[in-house]
Chains A and B, each alone.
Chain A
């Protein structure tokens, strides 16, 4: 892209509003400032550092797993966290943690990206596979159940797989790449589905502190646009193919709505998060009591955890077992996704990358 650099002369007066020297390279959605690449890197990293410090996401000496899918968010997170850890002496032991769902032509490729990241950023990588944990790959599951509800299996399994991987790494916390757009979308989705318990939790920067491995989201206030711009300018190596088993999963109404909003009012994304943080929700409407699964020992409010119920169905050749819902509220939504399979849906990342 050297040619492009050389051609900057035609850009004329668009100077960086921070350094007043270099040519502006992007307009920040958060502040509407025009800013050059170097100042953008600095402010992007500094803001994430501030979020980490103000919210006390990490303590010195902690072991932290970064949930790594090979996608843009987790790739930038791995890069920025290792950078900040060095720069500000966080004193953290960082690890990459990936889940291999066993999806040929998708996860095997994205895992190659994560393996390159392992070398590029010098972070040890742990891969946990569905095959090892559950005895099934997603390819096998889809062969058995078809393309309906496969995302339910995948989502439930992934959540548990990450926890199990984190336990194997003996980490204190799991950091995920959820960005501001993701969180704004989740706030809206929880309103649309009537899930007040999740609505009260989904804007928390740290969750699961009562569970085995707390999770945190250092990108809670980071715009997706800036993450992609950062990855592009820094030439970070990421994987951007959609999952073959949830084609068009990203075509959700809610995501599209967020992007439409961003176009006319970029601050709407942060305003939605702010609304989510300020909702008056009485603490009595909290989560069901947590116990442990009688079968595998994982946290569960029921006798068996969701993964064990689904797995039992698979192993007995009755995969529909456990798909029906115990709770009434979400019924409507799950039905929708069955009916409108392949067409637009209110839920965008049904494949479970948005589990909170």
Chain B
């Protein structure tokens, strides 16, 4: 429910930026500032939640209306069922997905896995349709909940990765423009600007996430600045090197944005060692949690090595405990997660190779 009006504001915001850019483009002769394209993605999760199909259809219809009613340039609406994370040729995606989620016994783990899969799906849509950025509508209230629940799940190390404006550890960098807006404010904005919103049933939070969200609600009632304080505290944690727009992005885009913000010039920090990531939730792994990983030398991916490459939180709340269930669990995981694990375990060597190559070929010297 929330995500919809949040997204609605994000959409309006991006739309207005685009609209302005279009006007500038039309007015000026400088063709080096191309207007960016905007699309809207909606993940249909009815495969997981038993929502009456007419409700889903209605929601999609409404969304279509909202998107098509925005002034040009035209925006595409991508409605994609979540089971699409399995390659499109396998027709049993829906049942595999159900089976995968059923294999997770912990209620919170199930919920979190669903969120990870949704992200995977969004990434896939963005990638396949040639988008350069993925805009999420996460607001202060939602991020405050994430700060607390990540803390409760023992993910204090990776937490700062998730709450920055930019998160480019993904194939398509993710941006959170609404990070500093409260849910209430966005709600009011939608009302006074009469921005139509859509309600989609997303299943209620249970377990840890539900407890955290009612805790935050309680605190927010007691003090209306509590959510901001929580996000501000977490904002003081040190972000990761991928929490900025990568330099390698399409150089045209980069040039254009450099023109817009003349002083803004990010150089990649090549001296930082690469992070390893949990193949399930993609959070950067803490060195001390990776001790068990160092013993795995080959790039061969068995269920055991997959399990060992996951973060402790996913190991506890998502992965099955006994080895035969684990075997089965891995066999029904979507391919991208498996390849993430493979990349992860071989990543260090290839990085080392790159570093050596850099040294061998480099003549500019001062960059590293």
Contact = CB atoms under 8 A, between A and B. Distances in A.
Touching chains A and B, CB distance < 8 Å? yes
Interface of A: 187-188, 190-196, 199, 253, 257, 260-261, 264-265, 267-268, 270-272, 274-282, 285, 332, 336, 340, 344-346
B223 A332 contact: yes
Given A332-B229, A336-B223, A272 B236 contact: no
B331 to A, nearest CB: 28
Interface string B149-166: 011111111011000000
Interface residues of B, number: 35
B156 A277 contact: yes
B262 to A, nearest CB: 29
Interface stretch (B95-103, B207-215, B349-357): B207-215
B226 interface: yes
B49 interface: no
A188 B148 contact: yes
Contacts of A280: 157, 160, 237-238
B304 to A, nearest CB: 22
A256 to B, nearest CB: 9
B368 interface: no
A265 B108 contact: yes
Contact of A199 (B150, B211, B222, B233): B233
A264 B230 contact: no
B115 interface: no
Given A261-B208, A280-B157, A280-B160, A191 B233 contact: yes
A195 B232 CA distance: 10
Given A196-B233, A264-B208, A279 B222 contact: no
Interface string B131-150: 00000000000000001101
Contacts of B184: none
B233 A275 contact: no
Given A187-B151, A279-B157, A280-B160, A346 B237 contact: no
Contacts of B159: 275, 279
A275 B155 contact: yes
B147 A281 contact: no
Nearest to B225: A332
B236 A253 contact: no
Nearest to B237: A280
B28 to A, nearest CB: 43
Given A191-B148, A268-B208, A275 B229 contact: no
